[in-house]
């Protein structure tokens, strides 16, 4: 329906679907004036301010580990993005939003509350791995197990789908952002140098890996020496990064194994034949599909567009409600949700 919108309110990026296409894709960041509480920048502009603001301003990432950590900042950001995509054309649209696979009822209510406060009329919650499967046109309506691993910035969702819904699911509060945190700690420990989140992310994307590279690559970055308080340049190489990034990778592997242990053998056998569907920005980490395939003994296939399959799935669900007919996916108000 034209008056409905879909949103993937992620730790790293907010994506909005309306009509037949993705109409917005911006960083989930807002810069706030500490004195007045007023927003000063949104999205890309706010993202570039991370670690570069004065004491008067603070760049806030309102979503942490897949859940809302700063309600007021989330509301301000959502209001801005809603206004950008709809202007004055839509009045309190119904909204479908992706959530981690097994978040608590309290956290579900916080998501609905933030969206309603930002202008949504009613809200439908859909699990991110389920939306990803819909976006990829995967048929999970039959009694055959389909395994989706969605590695986002703040969470990793591991789900086995069957008969139109989630047969097993685990949501891990770590993701590709955990690689950044490990890199920051490693550089401080080994070089006594502090680097920011943006620098750590650039290191990860440029030379980071969870599979040894054939040729070792180095990268020079600058930070602040913790003892002298002066800028210092250091060189980081892929060999050391591999050891550091494997800390997070091992946690993801362990979670996938736990889900399989709790899943019916028949559905695990289906995954052994069909392989794992790998989505999310973390799947773009160098060597991730190969690592999962080697350690789990089955094929892990990264999809063609891992960043947008969740929001595309939400769009398809909005335009064809039949894909969700086997589950209780209704548009509700905050009052309709009860804490169990």
Burial of 40 (0-12, 13-18, 19+ CB in 10 A): middle
Residue ranges of the chain with pLDDT lower than 50? 1, 339-340
Residue count of the chain, please give it: 340
pLDDT value at residue 86:
80
Task: For the domain made up of 4-130+309-336, give the CATH fold.
Answer: Nucleotidyltransferase; domain 5 (3.30.420)
Task: For the domain made up of 176-244, give the CATH fold.
Answer: Actin; Chain A, domain 4 (3.90.640)
Looking at domain 140-174+249-302, which CATH architecture does it have? 2-Layer Sandwich (3.30)
Confirm whether 4-130+309-336 and 140-174+249-302 share one CATH topology. Answer: yes
pTM for this model (two decimals)? 0.92
pLDDT value at residue 54:
85
Q: Where are the domains positioned within the chain?
A: 4-130+309-336, 140-174+249-302, 176-244
CA distance 75 to 113: 9
pLDDT value at residue 279:
96
pLDDT value at residue 103:
85
Tokens of 128: 């991110």
pLDDT value at residue 53:
84
Please provide the DSSP assignment of 168-233 as one string: EEEEES--HHHHHHHHHHHHHHHHSEE--HHHHHHHHHHH--SS--SS--EEEEEEEETTT-SEEE
pLDDT, one tens digit per residue, over 128-148 is 999 999 999 998 888 889 999
pLDDT value at residue 1:
44
Non-local (6+) Cβ contacts of 289 within 8 A are 278, 283, 300, 301, 302
pLDDT value at residue 90:
55
pLDDT value at residue 89:
61
CA distance 32 to 45: 12
pLDDT value at residue 339:
47
């Amino acid at each position: 329906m034209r008056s409905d919108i879909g949103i993937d309110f992620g730790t790293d990026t907010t994506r909005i679907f309306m009509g037949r296409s993705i109409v917005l894709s911006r960083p989930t960041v807002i810069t706030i004036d500490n004195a007045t509480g007023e927003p000063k920048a949104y999205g890309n502009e706010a993202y570039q301010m991370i670690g570069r603001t004065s004491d008067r301003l603070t760049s806030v990432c309102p979503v942490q580990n897949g859940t809302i950590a700063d309600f007021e900042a989330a509301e301000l950001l959502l209001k801005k993005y809603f206004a950008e995509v709809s202007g004055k054309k839509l009045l309190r649209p119904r909204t479908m939003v992706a959530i981690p696979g097994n978040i608590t009822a309290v956290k579900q209510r916080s998501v609905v509350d933030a969206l309603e406060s930002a202008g949504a009329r009613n809200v439908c919650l859909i699990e991110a791995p389920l939306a990803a499967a819909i976006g990829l046109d995967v048929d999970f309506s039959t009694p055959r197990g389909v395994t989706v691993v969605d590695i986002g910035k703040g969470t990793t969702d591991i789900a086995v789908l069957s008969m139109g819904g989630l047969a097993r699911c685990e949501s891990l509060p770590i993701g590709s952002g955990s690689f950044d945190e490990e890199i920051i700690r490693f550089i401080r420990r080994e070089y006594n140098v502090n680097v920011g989140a943006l620098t750590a992310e650039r290191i990860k994307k440029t030379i980071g890996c969870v599979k040894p590279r054939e040729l070792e690559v180095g990268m020079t970055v600058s930070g602040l020496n913790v003892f002298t308080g002066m800028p210092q340049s250091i060189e980081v190489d892929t060999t050391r990064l591999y050891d550091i990034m494997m800390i997070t990778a091992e946690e993801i592997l362990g979670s996938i194994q736990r889900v399989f242990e709790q899943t019916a053998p028949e559905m695990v056998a289906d995954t052994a034949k069909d392989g794992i569907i790998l989505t999310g920005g973390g799947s773009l980490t160098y060597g991730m599909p190969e690592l999962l395939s080697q350690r789990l003994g089955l094929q892990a296939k990264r999809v063609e567009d891992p960043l947008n399959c969740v929001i595309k799935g939400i769009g398809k669900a909005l335009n064809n409600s039949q894909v969700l007919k086997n589950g209780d996916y209704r548009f509700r108000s905050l009052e309709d949700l009860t804490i169990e």
